[in-house]
Amino acid sequence: MKPHSREWYSKIARELGTYDHPWKRHTDGPDPELIYDALLSNLIAGGMWVLEAGCADGKDAARFGSYAAAWTGYDREEEFIKIARQKVPQAAFAVWDGKSELSMMLRGPYDLVVSRRGPTSVIDHLPEVAAPEARFLYVGPTLDSPRVPDKLSAIGWTILGEWHTRVRTWLPTEEDDRARSEFLGEDHDPERWQAESEVRGRMYWEERQTILAAAK
Ligand SMILES: C[S@@+](CC[C@H](N)C(=O)[O-])C[C@H]1O[C@@H](n2cnc3c(N)ncnc32)[C@H](O)[C@@H]1O
């Protein structure tokens, strides 16, 4: 099953009920995704309406939702949305794939639209759902596919900042190496493990690209 395909996310939602990396890791510094948390904490304010694309089981709604006037998450996996509704009853959640017609509940207007490793297709809908002075915050392993900055420029949004962060990270055991390879849709390479593993395990770079944009 191809990682990040629809069936793959359905299986994770059914079997695990949450989205998380299935391998252990030790990093040599702060998690590169913390920049997203810091930006989100600084941007969010009482009175704001927030829309989250690809909210899965509502982890960010649970963490940050109470700082906003309203937090609405959507995800195309119905199972995730059921769990999110149970976990965070004070937030609103909808099943949506970004392709079918936008329901009334998702129309906003939102002051802040966020996506943590979620679908970048939400960018196509910003003109419909975002308030005139809205912000968009995204973090993912890459900005390249599709080109997030290009998509934002195409709708006339201004990029306020881009943060490229990476930290040396260790996979402590071969099982963790295998789990990561499978998660990335790659074959496990025992020879690479043999050649590259040290006392702390095998090193790789954990990378994130974070982008903040404004409607004007
Ligand atoms: C990598 S997971 C991230 C989940 C969550 N934001 C987190 O950080 O834990 C991506 C999520 O986006 C959802 N997703 C992927 N493509 C989508 C689309 N086109 N429309 C809505 N949700 C989508 C998946 O079902 C999954 O829950």
191 CA from centroid of ligand 1 (Å): 33
DSSP code of residue 210: E
The pLDDT tens digits for 137-184 are 999 998 776 799 999 999 999 999 999 999 999 999 999 999 999 988
110 CA from centroid of ligand 1 (Å): 19
Range 6-169+203-214 classified under CATH 3.40.50.150:
yes
- How high is the pLDDT of residue 157? 98
Between 17 and 128, the more confident residue is 128
Dig out the tokens for 112 from the structure.
């802040």
Where do the structural domains in the chain lie, given as residue ranges? 6-169+203-214
Least confident of 124-128, 141-145, 195-199: 141-145
- How far from 17 is each of 13, 139, 181, CA to CA, in Å? 4, 22, 21
Instruction: Report the C-alpha gap between 155 and 152 in whole angstroms.
Output: 5
Instruction: Report the C-alpha gap between 158 and 155 in whole angstroms.
Output: 9
- Res. 116 pLDDT band, cuts 50 70 90: very high
DSSP code of residue 91: S
Instruction: Report the C-alpha gap between 17 and 83 in whole angstroms.
Output: 7
- How high is the pLDDT of residue 73? 98
**Pocket mutation for ligand 1, best pick of 2, 19, 82 (most atoms within 8 Å of C-beta):** 19
- How high is the pLDDT of residue 5? 87
Instruction: Report the C-alpha gap between 58 and 72 in whole angstroms.
Output: 10
Q: Is 57 in the pocket of ligand 1 (CB under 6 A)?
A: no
- State the average pLDDT for the chain: 95
Residue 76 has pLDDT above 80, yes or no: yes
Residue 198 has pLDDT above 80, yes or no: yes
Whole-structure pTM value: 0.94
Dig out the tokens for 69 from the structure.
């006037």
- How high is the pLDDT of residue 216? 82
Diameter of the chain by CA atoms? 56
The pLDDT tens digits for 7-49 are 988 988 888 888 888 899 999 999 999 999 999 999 999 999 9
Instruction: Report the C-alpha gap between 55 and 157 in whole angstroms.
Output: 23
Q: What is the mean pLDDT of residues 1-6?
A: 84
**3-state DSSP call for residue 18?**
coil
Q: Is 58 in the pocket of ligand 1 (CB under 6 A)?
A: no
Least confident of 12-21, 90-99, 116-125, 129-138: 12-21
